[in-house]
Structure 1
Amino acid sequence: MAEAPPEDLAAALNAAGLDGWMTAMGLQLTRATRDEVEAELTIGPQHRQAYGIVHGGVHAGIVETLASIGAALHALPEGRSIVGVENHTSFLRAVRSGRLRAVARPIDRGRRTQVWEVSVHDDDGRLCASGRVRLLVLEPDAVLAGQRAGAPG
């Protein structure tokens, strides 16, 4: 018997608008499962630094966001939360306009940590940035910045 494909929660997550950074940047999920997260961003003036190219923080933010979503979709069914503890993003090609497309996939999903890899491509399919994020898996009763980790702020 074939295993059912993983549930794609992209539309629900986009509609929920839970992540202020994603909303501010205009990052739209196109696929969100526990095994793969994809997103697109149309480049605008708010994404560019002084030289007119996409700011490295935008690339790093995309990397962190997609890895965090994927890791959370894996951990939430067990009542656990996720926080990033390390983000290493490399900027490989400057981009000024068009659309960025990114995809995140897990490298390792352990009981206490997860590691995800993310690639960001331009309209021509060229790799612009790549990153690896290590995330900590928090127990249901964990406190983070003075609140229970899973509790909305």
Structure 2
Amino acid sequence: MNEDRKEEILHFLNNWSEEHLAKNLGIIFTDVTEDSLTATMPVNKGVHQPFGIMHGGASCVLAETLGSCLSNVSIDQKKYYAVGTNITSNHLRSKRNGMVTGVAQFLRKGRTVHVSTIEIRDENDQLINHTTMTNNIIKK
């Protein structure tokens, strides 16, 4: 993928619409390749659960956003759209503040089914969450 196409995709993803959950959580897409997508999310009070650590749902939102968007930018969006059908998320380490980075990669990139693995890591490269997501590719 050339740099112009990469920048086009990142601009599209970061400006997809004015309001949605990913934007409300501060998720910013930072890199894309043919088979992967990367984004960051700040960890602050806005994503905490009552014990002052990142809510598992916030990790799931980052993971699902990455998995869904990876599938959608990898298909002909004029003919198809990708919808999530399964997500399995393992919360491996807590996080109180700072920044996390998620990377989605295709495990299988089929014609009608995409399976992605998403790893969310902190600034010290410690694995915070591991998620597997399945998307069905549906004809419009």
Output the TM-score relative to the length of structure 1: 0.83
Q: How does 1:69-108 map to 2 (within 5 A)?
A: 69-77=69-77, 79-108=79-108
Provide, for residues 7-51 of structure 1, a one-character-per-residue CA deviation record: whole Å limited to 9, x for no partner.
311123213336601111010000134411000111121100011
Q: Is the 8 A contact 1:81 1:138 kept in 2?
A: yes
Q: Which residue of 2 aligns with 1:147?
A: none
Q: How does 1:41-56 map to 2 (within 5 A)?
A: 41-56=41-56
The offset of 1:105, in angstroms, is 0.5
Structure 1 residue runs of 5 or longer lacking an equivalent are 141-153
Q: Distance in 2 between matches of 1:10 and 1:99?
A: 19
Q: Distance in 1 between matches of 2:120 and 2:79?
A: 30
Q: Is the 8 A contact 2:86 2:133 kept in 1?
A: yes
Provide, for residues 52-111 of structure 1, a one-character-per-residue CA deviation record: whole Å limited to 9, x for no partner.
110000111111110111111112356210000000010000000000011000010112
Q: Distance in 2 between matches of 1:57 and 1:13?
A: 21
Q: Distance in 1 between matches of 2:88 and 2:139?
A: 25
Off by >2 Å, runs of 4+ in structure 1? 4-7, 15-19
Identity over aligned pairs, percent = 22
Pick the structure with more strand per residue.
2
**Could you say which structure has the larger radius of gyration?**
1
Q: Is the 8 A contact 1:34 1:73 kept in 2?
A: no
Q: Distance in 1 between matches of 2:17 and 2:92?
A: 30
Q: Secondary structure at the match of 1:58?
A: helix
Q: Distance in 2 between matches of 1:81 and 1:96?
A: 35
Q: Distance in 1 between matches of 2:24 and 2:134?
A: 24
Q: Which has the higher contact order (CA 8 A, sep 6+)?
A: 2
1:48 counterpart letter in structure 2: H
Q: Distance in 2 between matches of 1:139 and 1:116?
A: 20
Matching of residue 109 in structure 1 with residue 106 in structure 2? no
